[in-house]
Amino acid sequence: MSRTPDEENILQVLHGWAAALTAARMAPSRRWQAAVELTAVRDALASLWPKTVVVDPPQERWFDPLPGFRISGYPFTPGHEAWDCNAQAGQPQIGAWWGALKPGTVRFAGRDRRPGLAQHPEWDRGLYVLVDYRNGEVGGSCHFSEVLVETGDEVAGGQALGLIGATGAAQGPHVHQWVEREGVRFDWLAESGLTPTA
Ligand SMILES: [Zn+2]
C-alpha cells in the first residue's frame, strides 16, 4: 500500500522523535509525561491506520495515569492497602500505569455490588474496574463517574479505563488504586523504589 505525502511526512517526524528519545536517556520523572504523550500519539496513529501501525509502548516501570495528579492517600497501610490519586472529575484515567504499560483483560467493570456492602458502605468502590495483567498481577481502580470498558474486554496499555469521579465511598474526585499479586495487595510504589510526586 503506497503512502500519501502527508503519511510520509508523519512517519519521518516519528522516526526523528524515536531517534531523539533513544538518544536522550530521559530522567524517569520526564519519561512519565513522555509516555502519556506517546500514548496519545499511538492512539491517533491507530485511528489513522488501524491495521498497519504498531507502536510499542515505552518500556517503563512507572506510567503516570493522570498528568498533574497528586497522591493523596499514601503510605500503604493495613486498612488502606492502596493509594489515592486526587484528580479533576471527568478526566480519563489511563489503565496499566505500572509494569511497562502492560495490556490485560478486564476481570470486572461496573458498580460495586459485593455482598455485605449495605453493612459496610465505607467499602463501597462505586464504579470500578479490575484488570488482570499478563504477568499475573491484578490492578484495581475505583470511584469512576463512568467506566469506559466492559468485563471481558482486552485492554491495551495506556487505554482509558474510566472517567474520574467520586462514586461509592469517596469524598471527592479521586482514584483509589491498588495492585495485587497472588491475591495479596502489595505496595507497588515502595517495591518499585518510587516516591510519589505532586
Ligand atoms: Zn483510597
Domains held by the chain: number? 2
**Centroid of ligand 1 to alpha carbon of 105 (angstroms):** 23
112 CA distance to ligand 1 middle (Å): 15
Residue 54 lies in a domain: no
Same domain, 177 and 80: yes
* 73 Cα: distance to centroid of ligand 1 (angstroms): 6
> Does residue 30 sit within a domain?
yes
Long-range pairs, 8-14, Cβ under 8 A, ≥24: 10/45, 10/48, 14/41, 14/45
> What is the reported pLDDT for 185?
93
Separation of alpha carbons 160 and 92, rounded Å: 6
Distance 192 CA to ligand 1 centre (A): 20
SS3 of 106-118: EEEEEECCCCCHH
Ligand 1 center–CA 156 separation, angstroms: 25
Q: Is the pLDDT of residue 54 over 90?
A: no
Q: Domain range holding 116?
A: 70-191
Task: Calculate how far, in angstroms, residue 190's C-alpha sits from the geometric centre of ligand 1.
Answer: 17
Any domain includes 105: yes
Q: Which of 36-40, 79-83, 143-147, 180-184 has the lowest mean pLDDT?
A: 36-40
Whether residue 18 is found in the same domain as residue 107: no
Q: Where are the alpha helices (DSSP H) in the chain?
A: 5-24, 28-48, 188-191
Averaged pLDDT of the chain? 73
Taking the centre of ligand 1 as the mean of its atom positions, its distance from the CA of residue 183, in whole angstroms, is: 18
Q: What is the pTM of this model?
A: 0.63
